[in-house]
């Protein structure tokens, strides 16, 4: 690998490491303001405007194990944010429905999440915002390609 490529890879490695840590802190702070745990925040965020989802879809969107997701759903259900409904024809199939309280939480979460990202974006010169977004799309596509070939 050439020195330029090595330097670029090292810089990306450090930036993504720092970005991940800072994004986790951002999620922790937001979850705390909503009085929920980070795992619950990620679960509610996974609905992305849907009012109900099959558990299988939630597992895919959260990348959590079924047992971990079950514990999170139990906690959210106990606090009235959602309800799990077992399919009468296939008892293995469970759909999760947000309650009114859960829909309100999801809306508050999404509004605040977008507001935070707008505040972050406001700290970047307007002429760099488009290229930054394009670069992030390319980085995500490249990472997903690598993940697909490295499994």
Q: Residue 8 has what pLDDT?
A: 92
DSSP string, 36-78: S-HHHHHHHHTTTT-SEEEHHHHHHHHT--HHHHHHHHHHHHH
pLDDT tens, position by position, for the chain (151 residues)? Answer: 667 678 999 999 999 999 999 999 999 999 999 999 999 999 999 999 999 999 999 999 998 888 999 999 999 999 999 999 987 777 778 999 999 999 999 999 999 999 999 999 999 999 999 999 999 999 999 999 999 976 5
How do residues 117-127 score in pLDDT, each as one tens digit?
999 999 999 99
Supply the pLDDT for residue 87.
78
pLDDT score for 45? 95
pLDDT computed for residue 98 by the predictor: 98
Q: pLDDT tens, 41-64?
A: 999 999 999 999 999 999 999 988
In degrees, rounded to 5, the angle at the alpha carbon of residue 151 between the alpha carbons of residues 37 and 42 is: 15
Question: pTM of the prediction?
Answer: 0.84
Q: Does domain 37-150 have CATH number 1.10.10.10?
A: yes
User: What's the order of all strands across the beta sheet hosting 52-54?
Assistant: 52-54, 94-98, 82-86
At 150 the pLDDT is 63
- Residue 89 has what pLDDT? 78
């Amino acid at each position: 690998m050439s020195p330029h490529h090595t330097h670029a890879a090292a810089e990306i490695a450090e930036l993504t490491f720092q970005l991940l840590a800072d994004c986790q802190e951002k999620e922790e702070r937001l979850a705390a303001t909503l009085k929920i745990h980070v795992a619950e925040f990620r679960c509610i965020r996974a609905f992305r405007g849907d009012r109900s989802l099959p558990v299988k879809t939630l597992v895919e969107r959260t990348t959590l194990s079924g047992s971990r997701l079950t514990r999170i759903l139990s906690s959210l259900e106990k606090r009235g944010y959602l309800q799990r409904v077992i399919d009468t024809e296939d008892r293995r199939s469970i759909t999760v429905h947000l309650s009114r309280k859960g829909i309100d939480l999801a809306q508050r979460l999404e509004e605040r999440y977008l507001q935070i990202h707008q505040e972050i974006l406001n700290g970047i010169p307007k002429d760099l915002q488009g290229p930054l977004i394009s670069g992030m799309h390319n980085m995500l596509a490249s990472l997903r390609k690598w993940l697909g070939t490295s499994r």
